[in-house]
Amino acid sequence: MRSDLMKKGIEKAPHRSLFKAMGYTQTEIDRPIIGVVNSANEIIPGHIHLDKIAEGVKAGIRLAGGTPVEFNTIGVCDGIAMNHAGMRYSLASRELIADSVEIMAMAHPFDALVMIPNCDKIIPGMMMAALRLNIPAIVISGGPMLAGHVGGKPVDLITVFEGVGALKAGQISLGELEELEDDACPGCGSCAGMFTANSMNCLVEALGFGLPGNGTIPAVTAARVRLAKEAGMRIMDLLAKDIKPRDIATMAAFENAIAVDMALGCSTNTVLHVPAIANEAGIRLDLGVFNKISARTPHLCSLRPGGAHFLEDLDSAGGVQAVMKELSRRELIDPAPITVTGKPVGENLKGVRVLRPEVIRPLENPYHDKGGIAVLYGNIAPEGAVVKQSAVAPEMLTRKGRARVFESESDAANAILDGLIVPGDVVVIRYEGPKGGPGMQEMLTPTAAIIGRGLGLDVALITDGRFSGGTTGAAIGHISPEAAVGGPIALIEEGDEILVDIPNKKLDLLVDDAVLAKRRQAWKPHEPRVKTGCLARYARLVTSGSRGAVLLNE
């Protein structure tokens, strides 16, 4: 066993003594030692209850003959970090989480790992570490939040963000906004729609790293605790069979996950995180793969923020496994990849069926013929830009508009909320990419303000930053190369005409090449916003959003 490095032989008597100082018995030391990576904290609603999930995991490990050893990672709540300087740290935390898990598992050679994330960057950070370490590992998330209810209607966190814009537009009262604030998030769990956290938890399941139900079983249910116990037991089976992360994370498995991504209409952040995870497996996922799979995969589920259904609805409809079963009818899912059940995908899907066809539509009656995400290219985005096309109104799929240029998210958000953006505008937010932000801030406040002010059918937004999974509308992010390295988005001027053509995957600045060449000669890099600390290091090392914003290793 790998843990023998720290516990076997006469020379390791001091090491065993330190274990015994913590109360471990010799019997516990003799058993396989399983690291339990817990991201519980008291600042993220999706993580506030992870101590209970960890208890279940540890019980399962003990039931199957192992010894659990728990340690923790950091975690950022993107909702609470939104629209202030804290959001710059969110994406950067992904790399710190991956590094911290690697450090802990190398300094203390565990035999296997059970990883307990639930939100945004924590999930891919742990996955990246698992593939880097390549020891048996399984992911068990904390599960999604239930929807809230106001006036008999289901609501969620995005309803509150959009409520701010609605209040500014005079469409709701302060009292109505306060009611939303009180009731939209009724308890623990990852926010209730197909936002980034739930997108990633569903894709972890589709990729084969989470047990069936990992992505959708609600946080507050006993079924979630039972799944945690099962995950603890299952890791011992993976250890016995020597099934490692890179055995699971094959190209075919990633293609399965991307197909599910398209069918569900997941967050655009998946186009950052899935390539970053694949990179740790030694697989280069070009952005073109997303368009290729999107072209053949219909959009089957209309989940918040683009639709009316919540994660609890998807769970009652059969969850991720039912989506995969439906896709498999057209051979859009490869049945061969092995999963943490110890079985291939095809065996997991035996007996699975769609329980609510109004939530998971049949292939013959999809919401859209193409998948939920599209990658656009053009003279603004030579390396690509990403849009959640399933959340774009038909009126906005093709649009020419006037550029309204802002050098930061906060300036743009203030302009929108103050009524300075009008129908026909294309809001341009730049110098918010991985290097320029630094940290590639999410843009939920301005996009929610556009929707809240009733401009969703009239105004587009483009940025080298990124969007919350809760964003809806014609919001195009990850524009690469970013402004900070002289990408073409840096050359846009106020009043320029911009073409957004999502069906044809185009994003173009309608300005003569000669004019752009003159602008490029005059362009000068901005002074870095952050010059010290971890963000300064991050800005020096981070790659383009088109590469998943991973860090350079050389």
Is the separation of the CB atoms in 345 and 254 below 8 Å? no
Is the separation of the CB atoms in 90 and 12 below 8 Å? no
User: Maximum distance among all alpha carbons in the chain?
Assistant: 76
The letter for the amino acid at 52 is: K
Is the separation of the CB atoms in 60 and 230 below 8 Å? yes
- Closest of 151, 155, 113, 157 to residue 132, by C-alpha: 113
Beta strand pairing call for 497-501 and 398-406 = antiparallel
Beta strands in 208-321 (DSSP E): none
Query: Which tokens sit at 7?
Result: 């516990």
> Cis omega (within 30 of 0) on the bond before 117?
no
Distance CA 534, CA 67 (A): 35
Catalytic-residue membership of 17:
no
Distance CA 541, CA 188 (A): 35
Distance CA 185, CA 149 (A): 9
Beta strand pairing call for 398-406 and 384-387 = unpaired
Q: What is the DSSP letter of 145?
A: P
Q: Which of 199, 328, 390, 468 is catalytic?
A: 468
Contacts for 189 with CB less than 8 Å, ≥ 6 apart: 45, 46, 49, 118, 142, 143, 144, 145, 146, 218, 219, 220
- Closest of 81, 91, 80, 78 to residue 119, by C-alpha: 78
Q: Catalytic site residues?
A: 468
